[in-house]
Amino acid sequence: MARPILKTIGLSKRYETDGNSVQALSNVNLEIDRGDFVAIMGPSGSGKTTLLTLLGCLDKPTKGRVLLGAKGIDVTAMPEGSLYSIRRRHLGFIFQSFNLMPNLSAVENIELPMEGLIRSTKRRRKRARVLLRMMEIPHREKHKPAQLSAGEQQRVAIARALANGPALILADEPTGNLDWETSLSIVNMLARLATEQKRTIVMVTHDPQMAVYANKKLFIRDGKLRDEDPVYFEALRQAGRHLPDEPADAEPPQAD
Amino acid sequence: MITLRRAFRNILRNRFRTLLVGVVLALCVAVFVSVLAGVDASEAATAEMLEEYGEAAEATLEQTEQSMTQIMVMSGRGPFSGDSDEPMDEDIVAEVSAMDDVAAVVHVVSQGFGEPESAAEFHIEGEPGGGPGGPGGPSVSFRGADYMVYGVPLDPDLDEEYHVLPVSIVEGRTLEEGEDSAVLISSELTEYFGAGVGDTIDIDGTSFEVVGVYTSTMMPNQVYMSLDAAQDLLDMEGELSSLMVYADSVSAVDDVAAELESAYPDYMVMAMADMQSGFGDFIQREQEYIISTIDSNLASIQSLGIGTIAATGVISVLLIFGLMFYTVRERTKEIGTLKALGFSNSDVMKQFMYEGSYIGLIGGAVGLGIAALAASAFASLILDPGGTLGTSVSVSITLFTMLLGLGVAVVAGALGSLYPSWRASRVSPMEALRRE
């Protein structure tokens, strides 16, 4: 049996701010296999983003370990100065606000993570163009982010996340700033990356309808991981949201 | 290379702000370069001035030492006071030359010109041993005379031995034997006559060509010409105004003077040694005073220059610091994103250092352009605003000064962005996830 591509053991994070202490994450144990599309759901303040930052080596846990890759590299034991290399080579990020560099064109944004890894300008450009075609926006190569729609910007961000062929892609509310139809197309794209290219994707979302595309769903409440969260679903139902376990929504929603 | 290119494009993101900072930086660099060039020019001008003055002072001192053996014999004609109204006859020269202990005789025809001519008098004022600007101290003046025509024999041997003509020729040449329509004027008189070397001046209806200009602290407003020309001009053919009799030695001066007084009781006999004891010290003190004044002026210019250069450097660094500090704060999320994408602390720090250095480079280049057009104006305005230092500054910017100015601008950009860049490198990658 293949080793998981990502594993956490007893992962905990406590924040100390102005004399106040907040236990953001408590004893999180999870395993993610290659090709999984994992959706992590939970209400605001539940610890979703904290978990994502720890999985993405953006922060260090207070306790516990994060083991990355088939070899199980303990990234929590690595010094701060070495983590940037892990992020560049093995991880890809997709942000809610896209976080593209405003003065670079679409293709230049995609090339950004390749700096330092691919020396040849031509090779970087060629790879970036392939990714743009994959995202179905090759005609937007020279456009700056301000000239792209929200959906196009997120596609460029996804292409950027794929630039170095990472083992793991982490997406923080990737549809948070998108309309319904565009959100569907983006999540659909992520799902295809997981199934067709065996990319491992961990997506944080508060929208269960986007989470339908994931093959694994995890819930966080008060910093603790659980397989289901009826309280959360009840709250959403009362807010008038249609949820995936309703008979009418048994299949993933389709765009009109 | 990519970081360099990206850094350059980043400084163009907010063009107005970059332009504003760039303009102020350019002005700082322009002032820096101009003042540096101005100080260099002042130092060069001062060195030249000191050299010229040193040569003139040395010559004056030499003349002074020689003049200690000099005895003046004056008649009533000309600006010198004597008991006799009769001019000297030229025959006196041979008579005096034949006296014991007389080494040489220089015969002179002279007269003051100016308004009113009748009041023209030659005076030696002050007590021997006095200093410049204070009580005592000999000085030569012509009361009521604008200038003195001084006719002397144009004998090269006599001139070489006794400096009949001035030695400090600052322009043109000295008079040559046989030249009867040429004159040598003092530098003060160039303004009076409005003439320089090669021009013609008119004295009492007779034209003379100016062949040389001299400087002298002892005889500041003479017009030297040949003896024959002066005799023609002053209608004194066969006559003389005075004699300069040189004794064999200082110790023989008294004897020669006594013999002259005895032989020519109607003429005034005056030994210069009686007047000039201490004059040598006076010359030396005057020289030291003038040199220290020049040095002091230069030191003032240098201090002012260094102060201005330091101030422009500090302003440049602070300007870049402010800009980059604000820029880093503004782009915190962007920096966090770069970190999340795998850029290291040093990558981030380098990028912002490049941005600051680029602004320094661009501001420096524009500043050099401004300096090339206005260096003299800047230098004079800052180094000598009231024209009180008396230094004429002709500024030219050397390649070294330009490179130095550009280098300092780039270094100021790098220095100014050092701390903000370090702050940028410390931004947490978690900033990338910050909700706005």
Cβ atoms A180, A188 nearer than 8 A: no
Asked whether the beta carbons of residue A115 and residue B2 sit closer than 8 angstroms, the reply is yes
Residue ranges of chain A whose CB lies within 8 Å of a chain B CB = 49, 52-53, 56, 58-59, 81, 84-85, 87-89, 91, 93, 95-97, 99, 101-104, 112-113, 115-116, 160, 164, 172
Any idea where the domains of chain B sit in the sequence?
Answer: 2-54+287-433, 70-248
Q: Which of A104-118, B35-49, B210-224 has the highest mean pLDDT?
A: A104-118
Q: Is residue B237's pLDDT more than 80?
A: yes
Task: Annotate B81-139 with DSSP letters as a single string.
Answer: --S--SPEETTHHHHHHTSTTEEEEEEEEEEEESSSGGG-EEEEES-TT--TTSS---E
Cβ atoms A46, A26 nearer than 8 A: no
- Which residue in chain A is spatially nearest to B433 when comparing CA positions? A95
Cβ atoms A115, B2 nearer than 8 A: yes
- Structural element, H or E, at residue A24: strand A20-32
* Greater model confidence, B388 or A162: A162
- Mean pLDDT across B73-82: 60
- Structural element, H or E, at residue A27: strand A20-32
- In a domain, residue A189? The reply is yes
Please state, in angstroms and rounded to a whole number, the distance separating the CA atoms of residues B88 and B241. 6
Q: What is the mean pLDDT of chain B?
A: 82
* Greater model confidence, B44 or B205: B205
| CB-closest option in A59, A87, A103 to B341 | A87
The angle that helices A121-134 and A150-161 make with each other, rounded to 10 degrees, is: 130
Closest-CA distance of chain A to residue B385, Å: 47
Please state, in angstroms and rounded to a whole number, the distance separating the CA atoms of residues B22 and B402. 17
Write the CA distances from B177 to A5, A88, B432, integer angstroms: 110, 94, 95
Confidence of residue B436 (pLDDT cuts 50, 70, 90): low
Asked whether the beta carbons of residue B344 and residue A97 sit closer than 8 angstroms, the reply is no
Chain B neighbors of A84, CB-CB under 8 A? 339, 342-345, 347
Q: Where are the beta strands (DSSP E) in B261-366?
A: 268-271
Confidence of residue B141 (pLDDT cuts 50, 70, 90): very low
Write the CA distances from B213 to A2, B24, B229, integer angstroms: 104, 48, 18
Across the strands, what pairs with B150? B110, B224
Cβ-count burial B133-165 (b if 16+ within 10 Å, e if not): eeeebbebebeebebbbbbbbbbeebbeebbbb
Please state, in angstroms and rounded to a whole number, the distance separating the CA atoms of residues B246 and B54. 26
Of A172, A175, A173, A170, the C-alpha closest to A199 is A170
Chain B neighbors of A103, CB-CB under 8 A? 9-10, 12-13
- In a domain, residue A188? The reply is yes
- In a domain, residue A256? The reply is no
Please state, in angstroms and rounded to a whole number, the distance separating the CA atoms of residues B195 and B182. 13
Residue B12 pLDDT = 86
How many CA atoms lie within 13 Å of B259's alpha carbon, on the beta-carbon side?
16
Confidence of residue B390 (pLDDT cuts 50, 70, 90): very low
The residue assigned the tokens 């994502």 is A52
How many CA atoms lie within 13 Å of B359's alpha carbon, on the beta-carbon side?
37
Closest-CA distance of chain A to residue B37, Å: 40
**Which two tokens mark A223?**
């910093």
Please state, in angstroms and rounded to a whole number, the distance separating the CA atoms of residues A115 and A85. 12
The residue assigned the tokens 């030219």 is B396
**To 5 degrees, how large is the angle CA A135–CA A204–CA A242?**
95
**ipTM of the complex in this document:** 0.89
Confidence of residue B120 (pLDDT cuts 50, 70, 90): very low
Chain A neighbors of B9, CB-CB under 8 A? 103-104
User: Among A208-222, B73-87, B95-109, which stretch is predicted with the lowest mean pLDDT?
Assistant: B73-87
Cβ atoms B168, B56 nearer than 8 A: yes
The reported pTM is: 0.66
Residue of A88, A99, A105, A160 best to disrupt the B interface, most CBs of B under 10 A: A99
**To 5 degrees, how large is the angle CA A166–CA A169–CA A171?**
155
- How many domains are there within chain A? 1
Cβ atoms B132, B286 nearer than 8 A: yes
| CB-closest option in B10, B428, B432 to A103 | B10
Residue B404 phi/psi, 5° resolution? Answer: -65, -45
**CATH number of the domain residue A39 falls in:** 3.40.50.300
**Which two tokens mark B229?**
């020309």
Closest-CA distance of chain B to residue A72, Å: 20
Sign of CA pseudo-dihedral B202, B205, B209, B210:
negative
- Structural element, H or E, at residue B51: helix B15-67
Q: Can you give the residue range of the structural domain that contains A25?
A: 6-249
Please state, in angstroms and rounded to a whole number, the distance separating the CA atoms of residues B2 and B343. 13
Confidence of residue B117 (pLDDT cuts 50, 70, 90): very low
For B354-385, the pLDDT digits (tens) are: 999 999 999 999 998 888 887 777 677 766 66
Residue B63 pLDDT = 63
Omega before A247 within 30 of 0, i.e. cis: no
Residue B353 pLDDT = 94
Residue A230 pLDDT = 66
Closest-CA distance of chain B to residue A11, Å: 18
Residue A112 pLDDT = 94
Q: Consecutive 10-residue runs of chain A (256 residues): their mean pLDDT?
A: 84 88 91 92 87 92 91 88 89 94 94 90 94 94 96 96 93 91 91 91 89 89 79 66 48 44
- Which residue in chain A is spatially nearest to B14 when comparing CA positions? A103
Residue B126 pLDDT = 41
Cβ atoms A209, A249 nearer than 8 A: yes
Closest-CA distance of chain B to residue A138, Å: 22
Asked whether the beta carbons of residue B3 and residue A95 sit closer than 8 angstroms, the reply is no
Of B78, B142, B80, B146, the C-alpha closest to B113 is B146
| CB-closest option in A84, A99, A102 to B342 | A84
Sign of CA pseudo-dihedral A171, A172, A175, A178:
negative
Neighbours of A23 (CB within 10 A): 14
Please state, in angstroms and rounded to a whole number, the distance separating the CA atoms of residues A39 and A220. 11
For B157-176, the pLDDT digits (tens) are: 888 888 888 888 999 999 99
Residue A222 pLDDT = 87
Closest-CA distance of chain B to residue A71, Å: 20
- Mean pLDDT across B60-77: 73
Residue A43 pLDDT = 83
**To 5 degrees, how large is the angle CA B201–CA B204–CA B208?**
30
Of B326, B396, B327, the C-alpha closest to B33 is B396
Residue A71 pLDDT = 85
Cβ atoms A75, A54 nearer than 8 A: no
**Which two tokens mark B235?**
């209608």
- Mean pLDDT across B415-433: 91
Q: Tell me the residue length of chain A.
A: 256
Cβ-count burial B367-389 (b if 16+ within 10 Å, e if not): bbebbeeebbebbbebbbeeeeb
